[in-house]
Structure 1
């Protein structure tokens, strides 16, 4: 029994009293079809009415009442045929009632900002992207880092990264360079939004050890350069996200002042320091460092003063940069799942909700995005984060399926059936509105570059890029991936962008450009439903669609060509003709389409009336 519930209009229509839902089935005779929901935490079944056909499928409809006591509202479908039960939940079909965590879910109030779905993000590690003003660059020996034992080192642009100096070597990239690169990013590549790694005052090149939350590091251009960058991006219709590091500070922040760099009486210098309770100290007077790193003292949100400084006060850090002249569009929160009260993440959900509330007070369309290396379902139910850096639900399975390695760099060749099941499970446990604003990525400043993981195999990289731009969520390009920049594990993944176009992987670059253009041209790739069509052997195929338009992607990771016959009858819309992006017609039979996939390649099919 085939069952389908697309989680977009017109198959899901919100109303004041509830949500009009559509279930699609392959037949209708002899079926008992019900919508199951849980108002007041008690199971309730609502009969669904057969209302006609939807292409080759049968349509059943019912109205789901909003759950007045819980958000999100959860639901699933139950179909009985000749005494046999079929259940449909967010992660697929079941033979028995699914667990609540597997059910479809939708929020009445806490929905992500609508603009996010339409973006193509580009992540920039500022010191390594582009130098705009050489006079701003850090000079060798200019200062000592951290405790004062390590002098900073200036490197020539493009020199190899030294793994022994992960925090203290500088290449001179700055925000002036970012601004001067906007023509390349927007007009040539097609990027619409930037996510910048930390830019506030810090002695390190990565700047995850903040020393001043209210000033952009002068070596990156200072506050004036951020204001100028933001202003130009707004003129261009682009969006800007900054990195919020509020789980911890650096030891040289005036609040902490471990090494006496400031005139302040820091938390480590006296138990009477005004900032003492902003950090966690045990009974013996030892402070807690993030993940055991004593250079990153953890903040303690049980302190009212800290809460006011970070998010609650009238000029709190998170509010300050949302306002003119900076007017950023949201924050990416570093290790957001770890912050809280005391030495751990106590009361974490409360503070993430408070962050969201504060940002939405400043801008009702602010984007709240969290960093989670692992599964993040509970933060993505609508009331906390709009989306996450989607490592678990996208980067990890794609890495295992195409690169044969897991996030710990252990060998892991993922079966295609399991690959599809992983995607379905992760996607099905959060509201689809939030799935569409997940930040999908292949790699980042914290991971080896995907191109390196696949052994610089351009065809394998192109498969990954196709998934990046077609899968539900917002694609994010890590700077340099589009030109074939290589890099191993941190810090090697933070190499300088190579501006010599003679060194670029042009085939890969053109592929990025083509996929970005296709995503912008096809609304189903930004707003549409998702449906797996085939998962077997080395082949995976899926469709993205709205009521009006549909795209089908078929990928072959194997070393041999593969003929695939895809079932189009399972889609809730009918297209008379199918073609590739270049316009070539594709032969098909009623309800099916057959295509040949060359080795390590993909085919894109676009439905046309």
Structure 2
């Protein structure tokens, strides 16, 4: 960490620091000092932080800092900590250095537009430096961005950028539970999901904001259907007693609402879910209280004189602050020790009930040190528990690198996918998603929770119904389940629930918080079969959970991409074109094709896919027939090896016949004359470890070998 000072010397009444130092919505107030200038000090790890100053409600660039970077449509100031100077933008930290799920290292570097500089990124290796190949990634209004990759690296890596450096990156231990990688999340709005027992008229709710009678027992009796649909993890909206139907305004955050079945029903649900292999994440909602929460009731009555005043937020003028436009929902001051103690008590209570982790509501508004401490507390009790954040800001790397969250919602991808599907155009979608992944930081495959509907937004199906385009829904879920990321469904999406309320207001989500439908004509069973197929395919496919993403075609309204991992390859084809077209996906290296899914009337014959308007396909690919073919391949390779010797070929045609793998360069011995320098590398922290990416890259060669050795 380095203490970084920000100063604004201009005339102002109030100034705050907004941006990636915290969040663009929730800034850090700056204090006026005796000299009239405004100051704040922030402890920051290495990185590059985009920011602006909010000066008397006006957004301004920092006049004391000439460096800028563009995010989306806006140019911001940027403060670089322990990184490069102009014209380069790089620091030994996310999103510039990212450790990926397959063990490789992704590198990102910016070069100031118009500088004429040539990017050169090198890594220390042995006694010298090795160049890292860089490829153009994207451009914005301030920089050209380049991306590179290291197939393997030690825990400590030193980088040099065009002669400057070293910039040292130290790998942190990955604490994210492995089950989250292949999870299919399912968000349950508890009050609107299902009653404890069948109830006539349950499905008819309109816009009502009143409680509708959903019950934890209702969720429990739905588990078999959810498990059959491929769901592996439930995310439950708050279950504590509260003033509202959504229960985000708590009145007793430690309890389970008796109206939902109370303690007994909650524990029974968790136990029943676990029996079916389904995990449970509980929404952790601590932003605001209801007026019936005793400390809130007291502070609403007595104001700043209340003994509980320190638990809540107050404006500079001394007014009690509330959530949104409400005047009876005071905001907690989560920086206070009382609020911290309450937060720990809540997670302890739900861990005791058996939950598998938490979904943190409004995570960007929870102080980062508190989030870190909560995750530490949770994973001390349950090492395989997950902390997933509802994170609206795009700089997820800030929370992931701080080890505050295991994964976070990706609202950038949410907006890109919804916009494309509603307008009926794939133009630029893939490249926008790939750029978003690089800027967002983290490995999208394991840290980005992706979705096309939430309970706070109008459902995608509702938007499509207004456009007369409900036939695009299967393509939405085809994209959601085959692109990198952890897919999350909002309850009812799998059966096509949408609102047709004639008086619906813009941005009004209540009509889309309709009761779940379990039978009858309101269910789209064809869509459910598509979603079920995709969910089960993703669960068994390493290519879809951990695979690389290769963009094969992205022109017109045709999108073709490939996911690949551990010798498994999946090709995905989607067309939003108005007319039919045929796509030939012949690949001599992957001649064996298996059709996994066809939607919208698409057909496939081998690697040839015929697409009707608004259709898609998922194909499995492989280089060889089942495993029985491995031995003949090795025998054929030996015959080619003999020919190489007989004909004295300078360039052999045979593949290697023997592989010796060193799993790691680490060694706990201290041999002075070790030819691999393993003891020295271990002591200096530069020892490397074999990664899945390297093993996978050698798969075809290994299939032709006859001897393999492994040393540890």
Instruction: Determine if the TM-score, normalized by the shorter chain, exceeds 0.5.
Output: yes
The answer (yes or no) to whether the contact 2:581–2:610 under 8 Å persists in 1 is yes
The answer (yes or no) to whether the contact 1:382–1:431 under 8 Å persists in 2 is no
Higher relative contact order (CA 8 A, sep 6+): 1
Taking the TM superposition and a 5 Å limit, the aligned residue runs for 1:150-165 are 156-162=201-207, 165=208
The answer (yes or no) to whether the contact 1:129–1:496 under 8 Å persists in 2 is yes
Tell me, yes or no, if structure 1 residue 36 matches structure 2 residue 122.
yes
- Counterpart in the other structure of 1:450: 460
Tell me, yes or no, if structure 1 residue 596 matches structure 2 residue 623.
no
Separation of aligned partners in 1, 2:351 and 2:310: 27
Alignment partner of 2:365 out of 332, 338, 350:
338
* 1:188-245 Cα distance to aligned partner (Å, 9 max, x none): x121110111111012111111000111111111111111101111222210011111
Alignment partner of 2:155 out of 51, 59, 66:
66
Look up the SS of the partner of 1:443 in the other structure.
Answer: coil
Aligned length: 483
Separation of aligned partners in 2, 1:508 and 1:472: 21
Look up the SS of the partner of 1:581 in the other structure.
Answer: strand
Look up the SS of the partner of 1:543 in the other structure.
Answer: strand
Alignment partner of 2:214 out of 149, 157, 173:
173
Structure 1 position 62, deviation (Å): 6.4
Tell me, yes or no, if structure 1 residue 424 matches structure 2 residue 453.
no
Tell me, yes or no, if structure 1 residue 230 matches structure 2 residue 263.
no
* 1:327-386 Cα distance to aligned partner (Å, 9 max, x none): 1111111112123xxxxxxxx322222222222222222211111334242333362222
Q: Which moved more, 1:193-202 or 1:433-442?
A: 433-442
Q: Which runs of 5+ in 2 are unaligned?
A: 1-96, 108-118, 134-147, 625-712
- Counterpart in the other structure of 1:262: none
The answer (yes or no) to whether the contact 2:240–2:252 under 8 Å persists in 1 is yes
Tell me, yes or no, if structure 1 residue 370 matches structure 2 residue 380.
no
Structure 1 position 398, deviation (Å): 0.5
Look up the SS of the partner of 1:200 in the other structure.
Answer: coil
- Counterpart in the other structure of 2:680: none
The answer (yes or no) to whether the contact 2:279–2:355 under 8 Å persists in 1 is yes
Alignment partner of 1:473 out of 472, 485, 495:
485
Alignment partner of 1:125 out of 189, 199, 220:
189
- Counterpart in the other structure of 1:191: 231
Tell me, yes or no, if structure 1 residue 303 matches structure 2 residue 336.
yes
Q: Which moved more, 1:368-377 or 1:536-545?
A: 368-377
Structure 1 position 427, deviation (Å): 1.5
Look up the SS of the partner of 2:561 in the other structure.
Answer: strand
Structure 1 position 391, deviation (Å): 1.9
* 1:48-75 Cα distance to aligned partner (Å, 9 max, x none): 69xxxxxxxxx9976534348xxxx9x7
**Greater Rg, structure 1 or structure 2?**
2
Alignment partner of 1:380 out of 368, 375, 400:
400
* 1:8-49 Cα distance to aligned partner (Å, 9 max, x none): 676x36xxxxx799xxxxxxxxxxx9863599xxxx952469
Structure 1 position 563, deviation (Å): 3.4
- Counterpart in the other structure of 2:348: 319
Change (3 A) 1:159 1:61: closer
Separation of aligned partners in 1, 2:621 and 2:221: 39
- Counterpart in the other structure of 2:310: 277
The answer (yes or no) to whether the contact 1:121–1:475 under 8 Å persists in 2 is yes
Q: Which moved more, 1:494-503 or 1:537-546?
A: 494-503
Change (3 A) 1:161 1:520: same
The answer (yes or no) to whether the contact 2:193–2:516 under 8 Å persists in 1 is yes
Separation of aligned partners in 2, 1:248 and 1:272: 20
Look up the SS of the partner of 1:298 in the other structure.
Answer: coil
Look up the SS of the partner of 1:214 in the other structure.
Answer: coil
* 1:528-577 Cα distance to aligned partner (Å, 9 max, x none): 222221111111121111021010111111221233455859xxxx4231
Separation of aligned partners in 1, 2:365 and 2:613: 43
Q: Cα RMSD over matched residues?
A: 3.5
Tell me, yes or no, if structure 1 residue 219 matches structure 2 residue 259.
yes
The answer (yes or no) to whether the contact 1:122–1:193 under 8 Å persists in 2 is yes
Change (3 A) 1:67 1:603: same
The answer (yes or no) to whether the contact 2:237–2:283 under 8 Å persists in 1 is yes
Change (3 A) 1:372 1:293: farther
Alignment partner of 1:252 out of 274, 288, 292:
292
Change (3 A) 1:77 1:365: farther
Structure 1 position 156, deviation (Å): 4.4
* 1:479-506 Cα distance to aligned partner (Å, 9 max, x none): 1111111026411110011222343212
Tell me, yes or no, if structure 1 residue 577 matches structure 2 residue 584.
no
Q: Which runs of 5+ in 1 are unaligned?
A: 14-18, 22-32, 50-58, 79-96, 138-154, 258-264, 340-347, 405-412, 589-593
Q: Which moved more, 1:369-378 or 1:200-209?
A: 369-378
Look up the SS of the partner of 1:595 in the other structure.
Answer: strand
Look up the SS of the partner of 2:390 in the other structure.
Answer: strand
Look up the SS of the partner of 1:195 in the other structure.
Answer: strand
Separation of aligned partners in 1, 2:101 and 2:203: 49
The answer (yes or no) to whether the contact 2:101–2:446 under 8 Å persists in 1 is no
Change (3 A) 1:241 1:582: closer
Separation of aligned partners in 2, 1:20 and 1:185: 36
